[in-house]
């Protein structure tokens, strides 16, 4: 993997991540394809939308169909018919979310499958084995996602365990050449304690990963606290390596984080919100379920050029949702992904032109007029 920064505007960077399966222009939003699929959206549609990299989930693919099955099928790219870049997470967050089904020790995490209750063990070495079998371009070190709230002592314990696990991931995965071109990212933890975040970042950087992720956020904390932890971490990550903020966020948030110098982000929000009938548009959020759209002949977003806005009306999308037709969720999702990807491309363009602050001012003004989102919006 190679990462080149092509332009700067304040703290923001426009770069290019070069992977074995193509180039990724940053800052980038990565659609989430949990089980080797972005829910309801075919790979050809994602290509049409201009998605350059997708995220897949190690935990779910370990359980079904199994990483060895994927290996025998030629790796995840061939298995899911996606020739562009892929990132796989380590499975740490999903294991964290199991709560009553897991037991964390120094060696790793013992957990029971949410599918059939079968017992599994995920160690740093196993996380590397699984991700190397899947064959993603970017793989993640196994971390312990600190719960919220967590006092300083608990956050310290989690930080130290994540560092020890990170070292084991580096050792077991081998040198970059031995990983077949896979880039390995370390993950910063530290709970909601700024001084621990700084320490975690500095010590993780010393270990020499190919890139660095900020983890353990969007776990129930107030969004203002999320922003504070990101701001405390970013200055301590190297300028010449990609910076990945995991699991965020709304369109307003991804724009602001890109302006702070984050290069990569992912979130289930555009797909989950779409299934709930929530659309993101240049005129603010709209809840397509509302009766006021029953005879609205306008497109979902008059300023959007996606295939949904070019063909369908708000009235039709409302009808699909009310009728319980699966197509409604698919079309909503397609538009939301187009909005997220277009927004990030606009941010990148503004960085290259050197007028990011002007772009942000206009984007913030539009966001202030946006109505409150419906329940189910938040990915946590």
pLDDT in tens, 352-373: 999 999 999 999 998 876 544 4
**What tens digit of pLDDT does each residue of 244-266 get?**
999 999 999 999 999 999 999 99
pLDDT attached to residue 368: 76
Segment 52-66 shows an average pLDDT of 97
pLDDT digits (tens, 9 = 90+) for 263-287: 999 999 999 999 999 999 999 999 9
**Nearest of 213, 219, 47 to residue 139 by alpha carbon:** 213
- Per-residue pLDDT, 86: 98
Confidence of residue 377 (pLDDT cuts 50, 70, 90): very low
Q: Catalytic residue, from 89, 137, 210, 263: name it.
A: 89
- Residue 375 reports pLDDT greater than 60: no
Residue 116 falls in the annotated catalytic set = no
Point out the catalytic residue in the list 137, 143, 210, 266: 266
The question of whether 210 is a catalytic residue gets the answer: no
Does residue 92 carry a pLDDT above 90? no
Query: What percent of the chain clears pLDDT 70, i.e. is strictly above it?
Result: 96
pLDDT at 13 over 90: yes
- Average pLDDT across the chain, whole number: 94
95: pLDDT confidence band, cut at 50, 70 and 90?
confident
Give residue-wise pLDDT tens across range 97-121: 877 789 999 999 999 999 999 999 9
Report the pLDDT value the prediction gives residue 380, as an integer from 0 to 100. Answer: 28
The pLDDT score that the predictor gives to residue 299 is: 98
Confidence of residue 179 (pLDDT cuts 50, 70, 90): confident
Average pLDDT of span 321-350: 98
Average pLDDT over residues 125-129: 97
Q: Is the pLDDT of residue 65 over 90?
A: yes
Q: Determine the average pLDDT of the residues in 196-214.
A: 98
Q: How much of the chain, in percent, has pLDDT values that exceed 90?
A: 90
**Mean per-residue pLDDT for 70-78?**
98
pLDDT for the residue numbered 366: 84
Which pLDDT belongs to residue 370?
Answer: 59
Give the model confidence (pLDDT) of 134-166 as tens digits: 999 999 999 999 999 999 999 999 999 999 999
Identify the pLDDT of residue 378: 36
| Residue 39: per-residue pLDDT | 96
Query: What is the C-alpha to C-alpha distance for residues 236 and 205, in angstroms, rounded to an integer?
Result: 8
Q: What is the pLDDT of residue 177?
A: 66
């Amino acid at each position: 993997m190679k990462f080149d920064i092509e332009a700067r505007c304040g703290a923001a960077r426009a770069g290019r991540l070069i992977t074995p399966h193509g180039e990724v222009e940053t800052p980038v939003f990565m659609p989430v394809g949990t089980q080797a699929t972005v829910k309801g959206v075919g790979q050809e549609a994602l290509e049409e939308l201009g998605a350059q990299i997708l995220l897949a989930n190690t935990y779910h693919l370990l359980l079904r169909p199994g990483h060895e099955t994927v290996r025998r099928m030629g790796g995840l790219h061939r298995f899911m018919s996606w020739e562009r870049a892929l990132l796989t997470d380590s499975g740490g967050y999903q294991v964290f979310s199991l709560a009553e089904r897991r037991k964390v020790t120094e060696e790793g995490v013992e957990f029971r499958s949410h599918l059939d209750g079968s017992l599994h063990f995920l160690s740093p070495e196993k996380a590397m084995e699984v991700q190397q079998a899947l064959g993603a371009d970017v793989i993640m070190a196994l971390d312990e996602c600190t719960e919220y709230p967590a006092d300083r002592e608990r956050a310290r314990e989690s930080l130290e365990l994540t560092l020890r696990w990170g070292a084991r991931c580096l050792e077991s995965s081998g040198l970059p050449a031995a990983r077949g071109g896979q880039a390995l990212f370390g993950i910063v933890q530290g709970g909601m304690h700024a001084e621990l975040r700084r320490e975690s970042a500095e010590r993780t950087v010393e270990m020499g990963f190919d890139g660095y992720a900020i983890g353990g956020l969007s776990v129930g904390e107030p969004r203002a606290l999320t922003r504070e932890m990101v701001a405390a971490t970013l200055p301590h990550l190297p300028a010449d390596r990609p910076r990945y903020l995991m699991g965020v966020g709304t369109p307003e948030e991804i724009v602001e984080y890109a302006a702070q110098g984050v290069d990569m982000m992912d979130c289930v929000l555009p797909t989950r919100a779409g299934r709930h009938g929530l659309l993101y548009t240049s005129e603010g959020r709209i809840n397509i379920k509302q009766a006021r759209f029953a005879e609205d002949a306008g497109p979902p977003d008059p300023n959007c050029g996606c295939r949904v806005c070019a063909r369908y009306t708000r009235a039709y999308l409302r009808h699909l949702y009310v009728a319980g037709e699966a197509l409604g969720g698919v079309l909503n999702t397609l538009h939301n992904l187009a909005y997220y990807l277009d927004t990030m491309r606009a941010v990148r363009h503004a960085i290259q032109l050197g007028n990011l602050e002007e772009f942000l001012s206009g984007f913030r003004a539009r966001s202030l007029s946006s109505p409150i989102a419906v329940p189910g919006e938040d990915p946590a």
